[in-house]
Every structure is written in structure tokens, then in C-alpha cells.
Structure 1
Amino acid sequence: MSDELKPWSIVASRDVYVHEPWLKIRVETLELPDGRRVEFHQVDTRDFVIIVPQTDDGRFVLLRQYKHGARRVNVNFPAGTMETGEPPLECARRELLEETGYEADDWTACGGYVLMGNARGATCHLFVARNCRKVAEPDSGDLEEMRVEVMTRDELLATVARGDFAIASQVAALGLALNPEMAAALAQGAARGAEVTG
């Protein structure tokens, strides 16, 4: 018996609901390494980015806005869905400018991570943007109203303590904001992953 864990094989896949470009649900028949076959639902939504922006004096740029999934107004880092074929960093630059009016030249990619372990959902690409500077007024064109807020680390922690964060992927980004060592380690892992797949 080998100690090496093996991936599952996709034997068949069928769409059960499609609403392009936003959502696709399909059922995959999978073969496990021991020969058993199982079915898993897969949920495909559009991949997206989350940016942790910091100004040159170390303050964080955030958005206060209503999010319908959370059913309430909450605090988020800038984020947005990727257009078809759009590289993650290009999307991150675009979303930061559109949603906040800020730009940055110092970007760190911290990797792409799926939202659900077995159903996938989407891939969230995390970025840290340093030395951000305001160059324009926000112009996101989104449905939701947003308010840009710039916070010190202590103000950010107070916001967390008030329960103002409501979205799991945003809490992951919060970890990057509050733990630079983790952000550096994830960036190193993302670079290694790119070398393996590139």
C-alpha cells in the first residue's frame, strides 16, 4: 500500500443548471483511487479577486457596503469578478481603481484558492497592494452603494470586534492584512505553485 494520496478521476460530467456567465451547476461522476464511483455536485461561479490595499503610511483602504448574500451592510476589502480571459492582477488593478479611486505599483500575489473544498464555487485570487495613493474618485458602476474608509490597524481591529465583517473570503483577506508573515508565506507558495504549473 502506497502512502501517496491520489486525485480522483472525472468519469463523466453533466450540466443540470446553466445561467451564463454567472452560474453553472453540474454533476460529476468520479472514480476514487480504490475504484469506487461517486457523484459530486460542482458549482461554478466567476473567479474573483480581493485586494488588501495599504497606503504608504500603513493605513488600510476598505469599503462599507450592502452585500445581499450577507443580508446586511458590512466592511470589505475591494474585490470584483474577473472578466473572461482577464489575468488576476489586471483585474485587481482595475477593481482597486474603480471601487476606491486608488492605484498601487507594489503588488504581491498571494495565490488563488477555491471557496468550497469539494463543490469548488469559484477561485478567489488574493493580493496585497502597498503604497496605494488616491488618483481619482471611485467609479465602480456596481449596483451597490459604497463608502471608502481608510483605517489604521487599530481602527481595523475595532471594526472586526464590532462584527462588521460578514464574508468568509474577506476574513481570509483580513488575515493577510493583520499578519504580514502569512501574506509573505502565501506569496512564496503562490510563486512555487506557478513554477510547478508553468
Structure 2
Amino acid sequence: MSEKSFQFTIEPWSVVLENKKYHTPIFNLLQRKMRLEVKDEKNEGDFYVLEAPEWVNVIPVTKNNEVVLVEQYRYGIEQPTLEIPGGMVDPGEKPLDSIKRELVEETGYESANWSSLGKVSSNPAIMTNYTHLYLAEECELIASEQPAGDEHERINVHLLPMDKFLDFVTDGTIHHSIMVAAVARFLLKSKQEARS
């Protein structure tokens, strides 16, 4: 741990018992009985968490400095969204391999120039997983047809100049929180590279 790292001081809770309450293809709902024991204090309670696979997303940038985006309908908010490509890490797959596959499947683009933007906890209050963030530069179109997507997935692919993409993040057109986290990491990386 570097000397600049934050030193956490909060006491950890321990899992006393865990039950799988519900299973879906996307997540498991777990009930965890957890306990905190510090000095003269004892605290115990039931907590519900979603156990999900690792997720991945990527900011794909073409040689013309355009960002490759996907437009799709999101069932949770019952509205279409404009997003960077992403998905789930399949069992036995590494995150980088997953996002390379997802980029081609969702957009028809590929890249030989990848870098990590780190990872973020998807929602640490109720979820067990992380989202791995990537930047793919000099992306090229390799598929001539619109990608088919998964069974219930319909995707329209859009290219936006970088400035317009960032404007859409600023004005809330692009509002998916994990996508916005990727943009923040991208901008911090760009700022750091400009300093060096």
C-alpha cells in the first residue's frame, strides 16, 4: 500500500450465516446474517445483497477521435439509453477478453490498442461485484452488418465526436452511472498524461 493510500478505520462486520434466497441468470439474492463485535458493543442483523458476475465496459475511440456508442432499451427505467459498450464477464473469462468480445458483438468494432482505466464497485451497498473499465483506441469497423446482439437485445450503433460525447455526459443524455464512472477515469487518465 502506498503512503498516499487512504487508511480505513471502520471495524469490519463478519458473516455469520448466508442463504441464497433467489437465483436468476443475472444475479443471486443472498440473505446474510452479519455481526459486528467491538469492545463492549455487539450488533447483529440481516442484510440482503445481490451476488453478480464481474462487469466490463469500454470507451472505444476511432482513429478519427469518435466514440463508438450503443443505443438500447433499458427495462429497469423503461427508456432507451445511449451508452458505451459493456457486459458481463463469462465464467472462466478474463475481464479484458470479455470486453474485447463485447465490443465486437455489440458494435462490430475492434481494437489492438487497449488500456485499463481500473475498476469500480458496481454498487457496494447491495452488490458484490466490480466493473472493469477500459479504453480502446484506434478502433476499426470489422463487421459489415449491424450486430445481432443477444436474444432480447436490440442495439443501434452511433459514432460521436469526442467533444459531443463529453457534452452528452455533461448534460445527462448519457446517465448510466457506471458509464459516467468510466468517463471520469478516462478524463483523470488524460489529465495525468498531459502533466507528464
TM-score scaled by length of structure 2: 0.80
Do 1:70 and 1:167's aligned partners in 2 also have CA atoms closer than 8 Å?
no
1:119–1:162 distance in 2 versus 1, CA, 3 Å? closer
- Tell me the equivalent position of 2:98: 91
Do 1:10 and 1:29's aligned partners in 2 also have CA atoms closer than 8 Å?
yes
Give 1:166's match in structure 2, choosing from 167, 175, 188. Answer: 175
1:175–1:97 distance in 2 versus 1, CA, 3 Å? same
SS of the equivalent of 1:136 reads coil
CA apart distance, 1:151 = 1.2
Aligned residue type for 1:30: M
SS of the equivalent of 1:118 reads coil
- Tell me the equivalent position of 1:13: 18
Do 1:43 and 1:120's aligned partners in 2 also have CA atoms closer than 8 Å?
yes
TM-score scaled by length of structure 1: 0.80
Deviations 1:114-163 (A, max 9, x none): 22222115321111111111111343432232221111122213433554
1:23 aligns with 2:32: no
**Identity in percent:** 28
Cα distance in 1 between the residues matched to 2:153 and 2:121: 25
SS of the equivalent of 2:122 reads strand
1:115 aligns with 2:119: no
- Tell me the equivalent position of 1:81: 88
Do 1:100 and 1:148's aligned partners in 2 also have CA atoms closer than 8 Å?
yes
Q: Which runs of 5+ in 2 are unaligned?
A: 1-7
Do 2:169 and 2:175's aligned partners in 1 also have CA atoms closer than 8 Å?
no
Do 2:72 and 2:81's aligned partners in 1 also have CA atoms closer than 8 Å?
yes
Deviations 1:40-74 (A, max 9, x none): 11111332211111112322111122111231112
1:85–1:140 distance in 2 versus 1, CA, 3 Å? farther
Aligned residue type for 2:65: G
Q: Which runs of 5+ in 1 are unaligned?
A: 185-198
Deviations 1:72-104 (A, max 9, x none): 112100011121121100001000111111111
SS of the equivalent of 2:51 reads strand
- As a proportion of its length, which structure holds more helix? 1
Cα distance in 1 between the residues matched to 2:128 and 2:9: 27
- Tell me the equivalent position of 1:125: 132
Aligned residue type for 2:105: E
1:134 aligns with 2:138: no
Cα distance in 1 between the residues matched to 2:148 and 2:132: 19
- Tell me the equivalent position of 2:159: 150
Deviations 1:173-196 (A, max 9, x none): 232344434787xxxxxxxxxxxx
Do 1:107 and 1:127's aligned partners in 2 also have CA atoms closer than 8 Å?
yes
Cα distance in 1 between the residues matched to 2:128 and 2:76: 14
Give 1:105's match in structure 2, choosing from 109, 112, 130. Answer: 112
